[in-house]
């Protein structure tokens, strides 16, 4: 019975890793579409987001089967409950990558000249997501704690973006709509960082049984 349970846990882990990789790809595609103005690539992110939604449903089903058909011990229950929380954050990451890509399709060829900090912010959030999933795979509490710390870096980038947008509007008020689009995009990246932080917190809980307060 335990062997069967361990096999199902292994399958659960594989699906979470796969979903994490899908999130990374969606964010990376949205960020690249933003920097290159590639509307076709931006359109692909919607399909990525839909695939992430489907994976969330599959993992939920897997977790329910583990809870209903097996007899998990406390450590297993922590892992399953953390998985259910993590995939909610992953699904929202997919949604926000799609939101960024959707805005890109309406930028009308605008570039981010003078606002390259948004690209730096995007790379930081992608790394946070990657590291949070790695922490889950490796059961690495130290790596998860590093992810939580990196959220301050993303918040600092967001503050820099806001100041840059103020300067952009001051210099050319005709760019007001474009500036608001950039503000929304940076806000989505900031939220992705928050979700990566949540994932890292649930990794810590699954390993230690303690929910980290931030």
**Fold designation for 2-208:** Methane Monooxygenase Hydroxylase; Chain G, domain 1 (1.20.58)
pLDDT band at residue 212, thresholds of 50, 70 and 90?
low
3 state SS for 52-88: HHHHHHHHHHHHHHHHHHCCCCHHHHHHHHHHHHHHH
Structure confidence by residue, pLDDT tens digits, 151-180: 999 999 999 999 888 887 887 777 778 888
State the chain's mean pLDDT as an integer: 89
Structure confidence by residue, pLDDT tens digits, 110-131: 766 666 888 899 999 999 999 9
Mean pLDDT of 73-85: 87
Q: What is the dihedral of CA 137, 140, 144, 147, to 10 degrees?
A: -80
pLDDT band at residue 68, thresholds of 50, 70 and 90?
confident
List the single range of 8-12, 139-143, 149-153 with lowest mean pLDDT. Answer: 8-12
Q: How far is CA 198 from CA 98, 110, 144, in A?
A: 20, 33, 10
Q: How far is CA 77 from CA 11, 14, 73, 87, 209, in A?
A: 16, 17, 6, 16, 10
At what angle are helices 117-138 and 141-171 packed, to 10 degrees? 170
pLDDT value at 109 more than 70 = no
Say if residues 101 and 185 touch (Cβ distance below 8 Å): no
Mean pLDDT of 71-99: 91
pLDDT value at 213 more than 80 = no
The pLDDT > 70 percentage for the chain reads 93
DSSP string, 119-183: HHHHHHHHHHHHHHHHHHHHT-HHHHHHHHHHHHHHHHHHHHHHHHHHHHHHH-GGGHHHHHHHH
pLDDT band at residue 37, thresholds of 50, 70 and 90?
confident
pLDDT value at 75 more than 90 = no
pLDDT value at 1 more than 60 = no
pTM above 0.85, yes or no: yes
pLDDT band at residue 16, thresholds of 50, 70 and 90?
very high
Mean pLDDT of 192-204: 96
């Amino acid at each position: 019975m335990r062997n069967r349970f361990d096999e199902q846990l292994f399958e659960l882990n594989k699906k979470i890793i796969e979903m994490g990789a899908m999130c990374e790809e969606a964010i990376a595609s949205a960020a690249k579409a933003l920097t290159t103005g590639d509307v076709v690539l931006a359109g692909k992110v919607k399909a990525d987001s839909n695939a992430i939604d489907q994976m969330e449903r599959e993992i939920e089903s897997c977790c329910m089967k583990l809870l209903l058909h097996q007899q998990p011990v406390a450590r297993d229950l922590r892992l399953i409950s953390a998985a259910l929380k993590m995939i909610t954050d992953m699904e929202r990451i997919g949604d926000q990558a799609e939101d960024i890509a959707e805005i890109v399709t309406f930028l009308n060829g605008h570039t981010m000249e003078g606002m390259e900090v948004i690209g730096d912010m995007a790379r930081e959030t992608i790394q946070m997501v990657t590291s949070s999933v790695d922490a889950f795979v490796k059961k690495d509490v130290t790596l998860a704690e590093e992810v939580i710390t990196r959220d301050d870096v993303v918040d600092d980038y967001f503050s820099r973006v806001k100041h840059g947008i103020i300067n952009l509007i001051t210099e050319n008020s005709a760019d007001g709509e474009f500036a608001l689009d950039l503000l929304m995009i940076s806000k989505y990246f900031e939220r992705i960082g928050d979700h990566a932080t949540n994932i890292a917190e649930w990794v810590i809980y699954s390993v230690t049984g303690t929910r980290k307060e931030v």
